[in-house]
Amino acid sequence: MIRCALLELFFPGAGHALSGSLARAIGWLAATVAIFAAMLWTPWVVWLAIVARLVSIVHVAWCVRRRPERWAWKPMLLVGAVALGTFTAARQLAFEGFKIPSASMVPTLKIDDLIMTDKLSLRWRAPERGEVIVFWRVPGRAFVSRVIAVGGDTVAVTGGVVHVNGRALPRREVGPTTYLDRNDVSGVTTEQAHAWIEELGGHTYRVQSRSRAWNTEQSDYPLPGNEDCALRGRPDDGVPLEPVTDGCRVPPGTLFVMGDNRENSADSRYWGAVRVDAVIGRVTGIWFGGIEGRWSRMGAID
Mean pLDDT by 10 residues, the chain (302 residues): 69 73 79 79 82 81 66 68 77 87 93 93 94 87 94 91 95 91 81 93 92 57 71 68 88 95 88 93 92 85 82
> Which segments of the chain are extended strands (E)?
95-99, 114-118, 132-138, 141-150, 154-158, 161-164, 167-168, 171-183, 187-200, 203-209, 242-244, 247-249, 254-258, 274-275, 279-288, 299-300
Looking at residue 196, its pLDDT comes to 93
pTM: 0.86
Domain residue ranges in the chain: 2-93, 97-300
Q: Which of 89, 63, 91 is nearest to 7 (CA)?
A: 63
Instruction: Write the DSSP symbol of residue 49.
Output: H
Distance (Å, whole) CA 219 – CA 179: 20
Looking at residue 284, its pLDDT comes to 92
Q: Three-state SS for 244? A: strand
Distance (Å, whole) CA 110 – CA 114: 9
Distance (Å, whole) CA 3 – CA 8: 9
Domain 97-300 has CATH 3.10.129.10: no
Looking at residue 25, its pLDDT comes to 76
Q: Are 251 and 241 in contact (CB under 8 A)?
A: yes
Distance (Å, whole) CA 92 – CA 78: 21
Q: Which of 297, 286, 251, 293 is nearest to 144 (CA)?
A: 286
What are the CA-CA distances from residue 196 to residues 14, 98, 179, 283 (Å)? 51, 26, 14, 21
Residues 6+ apart with CB under 8 A from 122: 279, 281, 282
Distance (Å, whole) CA 248 – CA 133: 21
Distance (Å, whole) CA 108 – CA 287: 13
Looking at residue 83, its pLDDT comes to 76
Instruction: Write the DSSP symbol of residue 173.
Output: E
Distance (Å, whole) CA 170 – CA 200: 8
For 28, the enclosing helix (H) or strand (E) is: helix 22-37
**R_g over Cα of the chain:** 24
Q: Are 273 and 238 in contact (CB under 8 A)?
A: yes
